[in-house]
Structure 1
Amino acid sequence: MLTVLGAGLWLLLPSTRAGMPDEGTVAFLRPPIGEGGAVAEGSGVPDAAIQLAEYSESPFRKSDVERGGTPAADQRELPYFEQAISLENAKEWKRLHDLSVKWTGVYPDEGAAWFFLGLAYENLTEYDKAIPAYRAAIQRRHDFPKAWCNLGTCYAFLGRYSDAVTPFQTAVQQKDDFGRAWSDLGGTYVELGRYSDAVTALEKATRLRPDFPEAWCNLGTAYAELKHYDKAISATKKALRLKPDYGEAWCNLATLYKATGRKDEMAKACEKVRAIDPKLEKELSSKLQTP
């Protein structure tokens, strides 16, 4: 069952993960791979409501390789980098785990090795193991926004939102144009009831990455909690233009229409939800009948 916020809206963060390209209380949702950048389904995360803006894997690039490790080790480690990138692209998480364990054993001072180990654990939904791996990566290379962002993601998936704030803040301090991190930071603020801070972060996220439907939907939720209903409706509609089958966003729109007395439009939004997900429509109907 989806949890909802005080205003009756679903909070929809991202896509899942920072992995690394460059997806009442609520919980982070991990959408299916390939849909906005989320991780695999079946994560076991209960009461899903927030979606992460992109999936947590922010793939390593040659520029990342050049910045990490020692010059003498770079060439010797290159086969590890290349194989890790290949396994990440193929979403071969168990094999990436095995490779990363070997890599960290041979080159324990290489931050990228620990990063890929964290990435493997995260995608295997072993968040408690991913967290120390990402922290090991950061200890070896503090200027590592991708690792900081993924660390925040893991805390969020565990419901440890207060712990997630600092990693997300550090990620955007180190990389101000990291749209996914701004989006997830905003969603975390909503979780913590810091709605004004959420609006600031999510407005920044939507400026940087206007193609993130989850960021727009979360922005709508934050506006709604502040009773800025016109802005909430506008942001939610932008999410739906990007992702027309976004069931939770249609639910939010229906709830906002109810709050503003627009019954005909509410009914049309409910019809959309019914066509997309009948189970979600039942939940919405129950909620809309609640005074």
Structure 2
Amino acid sequence: MSTAMTLSTPPKTASSTAASDPAPGGPGASRSAGRGGAEKPSVIATGVLLLGALYCLIPIIWVLFAASKSADELFSTFTFAPSTHLLQNVQDLFSYRDGLFLRWAGNTALYAIGGALVSTLVSAAAGYGLALFDFRGKKLFFNLILAGVLVPAVILAVPQYLLFAQAGLANTYWAVFLPSILNPYGIYLARIYAGASIPREMIEAARTDGAGELRIFTRFAVPMMLPGLVTVFLFQFVGIWNNYMLPYIMLGDDSLFPITVGLSTLMNQGASQPAMYTTVITGALVSILPLIALFLLLQRYWQSDLTGGAVKG
């Protein structure tokens, strides 16, 4: 029976093969090209992205032009017309009260770098434990972390001040540094990334070879989580660098101020001294330069993260 069926089936000739294959310009070819080749970018989507980028860049462009103007030109010339007083404004900013702005910049770097590093380490350890360990109350603990993500930091500022005041730590560096260590969103990101990037088989093999948990975490887990931890570090660094409410409530000595609170005090003086507006704008321009440099330096980690995710997918 099978032999008869085999004999009755005509051999596939070149003409039948050509007929069965889709024509180069046919619908089948277009579908396969659409699946295999790169899709053409949408003009509408590109236009929307360009408008969004322009919307984000306009304030930066305005700050750059405004910082190049004198106090008289700031309110009397066209908004986006540049001037030639940028270097003088920078010198005036750095010489204000014997370099108080440089003190504010150093405080901001101390709060942001130290807080972001310690917070990233805590997030990495907590995320690693939540992703690869099973313990009682794990789900409840993770749900509490998610609830912490939903709570705005502004709501916690006043209770934190009362606690630090009772402990005698208000108006100190610790009052800004310690609240920045615990970052619920960073723990959430570290947990997600650890679960996706660290294979359990490797952890079990390392334990079988006699490696301790601390060595496994520092020698194996952290390098695998590095691209995700860079993201956590950047988010926390930018959050601390731009934080205003917490140091404004915690600190009373202007020598401990970060840039955000320091520029705010200068802004309040602008009502009686209009020349201070130029100093504030110049300070705002200088304060965003470290953030731009940091993103450019750490961009390659994000690119490797995206490439690794594409290979895994």
Query: What TM-score bracket applies, with the shorter chain setting the length?
Result: under 0.3
For the pair shown, the structure with the greater C-alpha radius of gyration is: 2
TM-score after normalising by structure 1: 0.26
Structure with the higher helix share, 1 or 2: 2
